[in-house]
């Protein structure tokens, strides 16, 4: 398909034009319909973000407004499924309110509440409930070492820890090292020393917490992987999250009948898929731990329409001996990310599932994706324009993206530079890290640390991480380009290229 014939896609070096009418409709359809149908019964005021039985409009929306909207409008609609348990929007709203009230009793506005858990319903309750209390939810990756959990909580100055029972024993020796930690609540049975989450939250009021929350206050505090040193705490605000959600709803054409299978850990950046799905009234199916055949069973059992995976996860499914034994026909979209996708794996995925795969470019600091490479462009790629299979797409409607040199001068097409991003979904800064924040921003532009180039049509291509670029013989060698060559060999399933000093 010629690029010019695509809708909403006039590219001008990282900015789309001619899309604002559609964008305004999408931004305001959600709250305006609510205002027309329920105004007077529940109320509809614009403040800085007043929680209570109050709904905030458009860019004034808080993260929890997603659940308040559907909890009142369609309370019996299923919002969440976990290990056979179905939870409606009405029930979820009650639990979100209880979490907000319970945490408000322990914390002051702006405090951090850490959570260490797997993909369980309580995590989703806290996604919305903790920010509704004017607090920041601090995600802990359960795959890290206990000392890393401790370091993150110390840096975040966490005041409350919500910890799944299975992780408590490993974490126990580290708890005394966190001076700000005042309350430890166990998601499970609880102990003689620590109360149970279900007791604490269950005793709280189901009425909405009456608290004013700034839309530019931190809702989620996510720590980066630390590939360039110690992890940094990305402060993602309500506004960042809502713009990211609206951006993705537009770009990925999310539907009300969406059924999203969460295969990544909820502590991962892919957790953005939860509010994205809920925004449209879709249901989220939690996947406790990725296993290829179980994934296929869950897709057919629940009629899953969309999911996201890392390239290795997708490859495990494609190479599974029973991959043809399951229908998997309900799938409308498979997003991939978290690592570079080998072209051979991508071809195999399109052959098995059809042209339903999509991708983009994003990171923790960017509220999800800012570049999108949708299904229609994948279809174009496999029908002749195969060079596009290496692309991560074009800028999303509410993001500005460009490639610059070391002086912040925009690079012409085909020239490699650093990818920089600007927009309302970009984090407001790093917690307790003024130097990191200062280095990350230049006149409002966020430095991604990724080397990239764009072509004449406006497609962007990630070449390498700046730190992974290999200097040899005075030339720049990009590891991904070498890895792509290795992947063409039928005996290679994983490849990683690094530079070593020449003795």
The pLDDT, as a whole number, for residue 288 is 87
CA distances from 72 to 21, 34, 43, 280 (A): 28, 10, 12, 14
Q: What is the mean pLDDT of the chain?
A: 85
The pLDDT, as a whole number, for residue 13 is 34
Task: Specify the higher pLDDT residue, 51 or 465.
Answer: 465
- DSSP-derived letter for residue 393 is B
The average pLDDT across 54-78 equals 88
Query: What confidence tens digit (pLDDT) does each residue in 454-474 have?
Result: 999 999 998 875 555 554 443
How far apart, in whole angstroms, are the C-alpha atoms of residue 334 and residue 348? 13
The pLDDT, as a whole number, for residue 31 is 41
Asked if pLDDT for residue 60 goes beyond 90, the answer is: no
Confidence band for 367, pLDDT divided at 50, 70 and 90: confident
The pLDDT, as a whole number, for residue 390 is 86
Report the interhelical angle of 20-38 vs 65-73 (nearest 10°).
Answer: 50
The average pLDDT across 209-233 equals 87
- Polymer length in residues for the chain: 503
The average pLDDT across 216-220 equals 98
The pLDDT, as a whole number, for residue 112 is 99
Instruction: Return all residues near 208 (Cβ < 8 A) that are at least 6 apart.
Output: 51, 52, 53, 54, 68, 97, 100, 132
The pLDDT, as a whole number, for residue 205 is 97
The pLDDT, as a whole number, for residue 501 is 63
Q: Which domains does the chain have, with CATH numbers?
A: 60-235 (3.40.50.12780), 472-502 (no CATH)
pTM greater than 0.75 (yes/no): yes
160 phi, psi to nearest 5 deg: -130, 140
Asked if pLDDT for residue 34 goes beyond 60, the answer is: no
Instruction: Return all residues near 43 (Cβ < 8 A) that are at least 6 apart.
Output: 53, 54, 55
How far apart, in whole angstroms, are the C-alpha atoms of residue 161 and residue 433? 22
Confidence band for 39, pLDDT divided at 50, 70 and 90: very low
Residue 46: count other Cβ atoms within 10 Å of its Cβ.
13
The average pLDDT across 53-79 equals 87
From first CA to last CA, the distance across the chain in angstroms is 51
Query: What confidence tens digit (pLDDT) does each residue in 270-279 have?
Result: 899 999 999 9
The average pLDDT across 336-359 equals 86
Of 51-55, 152-156, 187-191, least confident by mean pLDDT is 51-55
How far apart, in whole angstroms, are the C-alpha atoms of residue 392 and residue 337? 10
Asked if pLDDT for residue 40 goes beyond 50, the answer is: no
| Helix ranges, 238-342 (H) | 238-251, 273-279, 292-302, 311-318
Asked if pLDDT for residue 195 goes beyond 50, the answer is: yes
Residue 4: count other Cβ atoms within 10 Å of its Cβ.
8
Residue 347: count other Cβ atoms within 10 Å of its Cβ.
14
The pLDDT, as a whole number, for residue 496 is 76
Query: What confidence tens digit (pLDDT) does each residue in 151-183 have?
Result: 999 999 999 999 999 999 999 999 999 999 999
């Amino acid at each position: 398909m010629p690029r010019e014939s695509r809708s909403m896609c006039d590219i001008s070096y990282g900015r789309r034009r001619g899309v604002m009418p559609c964008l305004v409709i999408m931004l305001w359809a959600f709250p305006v319909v609510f205002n027309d149908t329920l105004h007077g019964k529940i109320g509809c005021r614009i403040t800085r973000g007043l929680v209570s039985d109050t709904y905030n409009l458009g860019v004034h929306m808080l993260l929890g407004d997603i659940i308040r909207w559907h909890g009142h409008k369609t309370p019996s609609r299923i919002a969440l499924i976990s290990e056979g348990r179905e939870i409606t929007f009405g029930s979820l709203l009650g639990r979100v309110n209880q979490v907000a009230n319970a945490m408000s009793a322990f914390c002051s506005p702006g405090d951090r509440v850490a959570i260490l858990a797997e993909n369980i319903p309580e995590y989703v309750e806290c996604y919305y409930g903790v920010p509704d209390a004017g607090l920041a939810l601090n995600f802990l990756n359960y795959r890290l070492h206990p000392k890393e959990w401790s370091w993150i909580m110390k840096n975040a100055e966490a005041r409350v820890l919500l910890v799944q029972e299975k992780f408590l024993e490993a974490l126990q020796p580290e708890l005394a090292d966190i001076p700000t930690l005042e309350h430890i609540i166990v998601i499970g049975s609880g102990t003689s020393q620590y109360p149970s989450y279900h007791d604490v939250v269950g005793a709280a009021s189901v009425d909405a917490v009456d608290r004013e929350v700034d839309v530019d206050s931190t809702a989620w505090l996510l720590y980066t992987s630390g590939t360039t040193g110690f992890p940094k705490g990305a402060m993602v605000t309500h506004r960042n999250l809502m713009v990211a959600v609206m951006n993705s709803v537009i770009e990925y054409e999310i539907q009300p009948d969406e059924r999203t299978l969460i295969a990544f850990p909820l502590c991962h950046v892919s957790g953005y898929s939860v509010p994205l799905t809920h925004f449209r009234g879709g249901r989220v199916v939690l996947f406790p731990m990725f296993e290829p055949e179980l994934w296929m069973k869950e897709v057919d059992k629940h009629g899953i329409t969309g999911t996201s995976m890392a390239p290795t996860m997708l490859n495990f499914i494609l190479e599974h001996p029973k991959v043809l034994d399951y229908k998997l026909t309900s799938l409308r979209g498979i997003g991939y990310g978290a690592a570079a996708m080998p072209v051979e794996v991508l071809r195999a995925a399109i052959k098995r599932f059809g042209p339903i795969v999509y991708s983009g470019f994003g990171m923790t600091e960017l509220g999800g994706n800012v570049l999108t490479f949708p299904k229609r462009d994948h279809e174009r790629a496999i029908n002749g324009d195969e060079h596009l299979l290496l692309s991560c797409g074009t800028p999303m409607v509410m993001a500005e993206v460009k490639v610059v040199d070391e002086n912040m001068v925009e690079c012409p097409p085909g020239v490699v530079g650093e990818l920089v991003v600007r927009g309302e979904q970009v984090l407001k800064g790093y917690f307790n890290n003024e130097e990191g924040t200062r280095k990350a921003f230049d006149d409002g532009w966020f430095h991604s640390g990724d080397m990239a180039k764009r072509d004449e049509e406006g497609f962007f291509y990630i070449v390498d991480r700046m730190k992974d670029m290999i200097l040899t013989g005075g030339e720049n060698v990009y590891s991904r380009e070498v890895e792509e060559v290795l992947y063409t060999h039928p005996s290679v399933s994983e490849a990683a290229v690094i530079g070593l000093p020449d003795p």
